[in-house]
Structures are given as C-alpha cells and as structure tokens.
Amino acid sequence: MTGPAELTLQLTPQNRCDAIDLKALLRARLGEAVGAYRRAIYCSHHTTAGFLDRHVGGRLRSQADLLDFIGAFQRLFPAQADYEHDKLHLRVELSAEQRATEPRNADSHLTFIGAGMSNCLTADLEDDRPVYLVDLDGVHEHGARRRQASVVAYNRQRPVATVELEVPVSGHPIDSINVFEPGLGLSEQLAEFVRRQGVEKGRLDLSLPEDERDASLTVNEYETLLMQNDLRDVLRDPLRFMREKGRGLLRDPRAVAHRTLDYAQYDFVQVLNELMDAVGASESILERLLARLMALPAARLFGVRRSVSLLVSDREGDGGSIVKGTYQSPILMQWRKAEGGRRRVAATLVRFR
C-alpha cells in the first residue's frame, strides 16, 4: 500500500477574509496519484488562518455562505475596536521596524477562537466537498500575506499511545495558559513522547477529559496583551467590543420598537440569525450554544473546542517531530477556577499509514 504523501502549499490570499480550497490544490499537485489515498490532514501554519469545524463547515452550501458565517463573528469582534493587542507601542516584543508593519489584527485572533476554528482538519478525499482554509487577515494595509499549509495524504490511522499532562493554572477563574510555555516543560515532554514512539507521519491530539469542565482548547498566538487583556475581556463579556464599537452595527437602532432593548444584545440577535441562515438551520447545537450568551456573562462561546491537533512529520529528516507555525501554541482557556490549580489534558499520538 502507498505510504503517506506530504506536500507544502504556498498561498497568497486575495482579500482580508478569504477562503482557499486546499483539496483542489492537493488534487492538482498529486494528479492521478491522489486516487491512491483515502484521507488527508490539512494544517495551517498561522494563527489567523484555519478551518471551520467539519460539522459546521459541512452545513455551509457555498463559499459565500462560509464567508457570511465568518462575517457574523466579525461583527462580534469588529476591526479597530479598542484592543490592547493593537496598541503596538505597548508590544515590547516588537522591534521599531516590526511596529511599522505589524497589522492590527486582534479581531482576527478573537474571531478564530470564537468561531471555534482549528489549525488542522482531517477529511475524506473521496468526498467531493472542498476543504477551505479560511484566512481572516490575508490582506492588510501593508499588502497581502504569504501563507503556508501542510497536507498529508494517507490511507489508515492508528492510535499509538496516550499520555496525560497536568497543566498548572492560576487561581483566577478566567484565565488562558500557553501549554507550550517554556517554563512548564510540557512541550519538551511531548517532543520526547513523539520521539520515543517513533512515529514519522501522524497527528498529536490534545483533548480535555470529560470531567474537565468550564475550559476549552485552541491553537493560537500567546501574545500577552491579546491573551491576558482582550481575550479575558471577551470571556467576561462576549459583547463588549460590539458594544464599544457603536450601536446598530447591523441595523439602525432607531428601527427597534422597544427603545429599552440593549442595542448590543439586539445586534447579537441579528448576528445569531445570520449564523443560522448561513448554516441553513433554525435550531442546532450551535444555535443553543450561542443563545446562552444572551443570559450568561461567561464565555460559553469558547466552549466549542474540547480538542486540538498538531501535525507530526519527519520532513526535517531527523525522525518525526511536532509541526507548528512560528507563533502557534496550544492554549487552554478557562472561565471557572480549577480545583487544585491544575487541569488535565490527554495527548494521543496517531500514526498514519
């Protein structure tokens, strides 16, 4: 049987919010050889470009529906709101030259997290539906970005081993933790775990056990102002930036019959309706999840991802290792204090054949 095939795709988005069909590019690169494979994993190397959950994406009827769906979340996190991440003079990790060209894109990071987007997506190659890489920040005032994605086509997968990690968290009920923070040693522990199992091409799945509640996972940039200020603000009040940006983002608030209605909540109802129109459903898990935001200040919006995946590859020629983009880190978010100041994450290594 044919062994896994790995490709690197170089991409240039055409718009700030763009959708690029990676499955079409994979088929074009492999030609007739694509018929030798059953599945593929698609991996973005970026923190503002990724994939919608397959259950949500599968309900979207077209590329236009997909962009409408993302657009609704962009209304929750409008561009150029008062994000700490976008105050470049506070970004001590940036040089003067970097501050001159760094895009103000906190809204893209929050949209990625809030919409439950992921850095990796696995899909059947026999399925004719496209696999869209959704870029939330592809073009900015300084030009178009250069994007990169990895794709591994394979036939079979087999779980090899699982290890449980203990992630220390602060005593704050609302918090976010970089699982790969150098001082924690978890990144090194997982690298050794992968090396010891001898997996050359595969996937590392990080997941929260069933009894770990009020927490979720994502892969994004752990920039201090973004994570410790903007994300925390959204976890406390999901409508904050919509409210700050101004009333009536979607419609003229004067058209609302009952003037006592909170304008931000009114706009949120319209956002919710747009999401439901995009996925073609009047009642769904997503709808019930988002509707709870109307009554709860906690970040139930961010409870949609209980697991994330990282590609494992031997493309560097020194055995299998974890692949991630320059700014990518697995991040654990919580909105209730953890007992004992720790949360557990299961890491399962999967081998491709």
Q: What is the pLDDT of residue 249?
A: 40
The rounded distance, in Å, linking the Cα atoms of 248 and 243 is 9
Q: Which of 195, 207, 186, 216 is nearest to 303 (CA)?
A: 216
Write down the pLDDT at residue 68. Answer: 84
User: Residue 258: its pLDDT value, please?
Assistant: 38
State which residues of the chain have pLDDT below 70.
Answer: 1, 61, 245-304
HEC sequence for 5-32: EEEEEEECCCCCCEEEEHHHHHHHHHHH
Q: What is the pLDDT of residue 247?
A: 45
- What's residue 246's pLDDT? 53
Q: Does domain 157-238+297-353 correspond to CATH entry 2.60.120.460? A: yes
Query: What local confidence, expressed as pLDDT, does residue 174 receive?
Result: 85
Token output for 16: 């700030």
Instruction: State the pTM of this model.
Output: 0.85
**Domain residue extents for the chain:** 157-238+297-353
Query: Angle between the 106-114 and 63-76 helix axes, to the nearest 10 degrees?
Result: 110
Report the percent of the chain where pLDDT is more than 90.
62
